Amino acid sequence: MNSGLLEKLKPVANARKTLLDLNIDPFSVQIEELLSPTEARIGGKNVLLAGTNNYLGLTFDADCIEAACRAIREQGTGTTGSRMANGTFAGHTALETEMAAFFGMSQAIVFSTGFVANLGVISTLTGAGDVVLIDADSHASIYDGCRMGGADILRFRHNDTGDLEKRLKRLGKRTSNTLVIIEGIYSMLGDRAPLARIAELKKKYGFWLMVDEAHSLGVLGKTGKGLAEEVDCLKDVDFIIGTFSKSLGTIGGFCVSDHPELDLVRYSSRSYIFTASPSPATIASVRQALRILAAGTEIRRKLWDNTNRLFSGLQGLGFRLGPEATPVIAVYMGTKEETLKKWQSLLENGLYVNLVLPPAAPDGSCLLRCSVSSAHTGEEIDRIIQAFSTLK
């Protein structure tokens, strides 16, 4: 029988067979029971979690759980419709008001996921005749949103503002129809974008600027608004995109802006119009998590204490790490086979981290990626360091 459409999956099957031949299958890891924000049962034994993106540890926060339970009891388990049909509840619009107020912006749209937020906003704002200039290490959702829009897509070298400016010069007058997209913290290596310099270039060349704060919301800035707040560039950013699935501990996405035209995106975005809206429980949990984030800095202080402790500890063991200390800590490994075996060794020794292989890792590297949480205790951070010491 002719395989036809399925022929293209043969390389995937071959890659998967290579893993199985090594008796390693990272894609079949199943969390059997969650014990806390930092511990779970995997393979019948307790495992320390260091790869969850649960930066503020709010997935088990009692107030967030109670808000979600109350919403389920009062509004049911789901909306069963899109925002444009029957899926806009009072909680959705309340959260949009609260997100806009948190960022000091006039407009906000809530989406079902962060991925969908990027798809919807980028593909609606940009089209034929426009240009999107994106960092080469951008998330897959940014790449896909650009492709859907139909604009000309240009990449600049990761965090290289000189390369960015060179491309802006070549665009000439087209910069007025150019959207530059960067991320607050890049999800693989954990480094910040050079936003202050990019904001200077914006003043010079007149392009539009979008910042994806998925991994920096709740992490950077005096009040946790992200990189744009940390470098005092909130007013220079036209659109901030983010997710609820990292610091806010649930699922969903958003875009905020001071441009009143953002509200018109909801009438044109296919990923908004034709996707079921977030459940009442999800929205209620996000609203409570946002209140916790806005209320104080202690939870972020603990996060950064843990981050610096782990980064310096792994550095002291002689590992090559990402370029700076953030709650995303990438540990460079060797070959793909070596990295797989070391990932498996850590799991067998009670530590779960993220396995990152090409093409997901930048520059063809192989990484073991840790994400730090404010819920980690000092002893747990030391256990992570101890586990990595067995790999040397």
Q: Report, as residue numbers or ranges, the catalytic residues.
A: 187, 215, 246
With CA atoms as reference, report the closest residue to 118 among 212, 187, 193, 225.
212
Considering Cα of 158, then 160, then 161, then 163, what sign does the dihedral take? Answer: negative
Q: How far is CA 16 from CA 22, 27, 140, 238, in A?
A: 10, 10, 21, 42
Residue 262 identity (one-letter amino acid): L
Question: Exposed, middle or buried, 300 (CB in 10 Å: 0-12/13-18/19+)?
Answer: buried
Side by side, the strands of the sheet bearing 31-36 are 31-36, 39-42, 45-49, 351-352
Task: Determine the Cα angle at 280 with ends 246 and 294, to 5°.
Answer: 45
Torsion (CA) 66, 299, 52, 369 in degrees, nearest 10: 180
Query: Do residues 327 and 303 make contact, with C-beta atoms less than 8 angstroms apart?
Result: yes
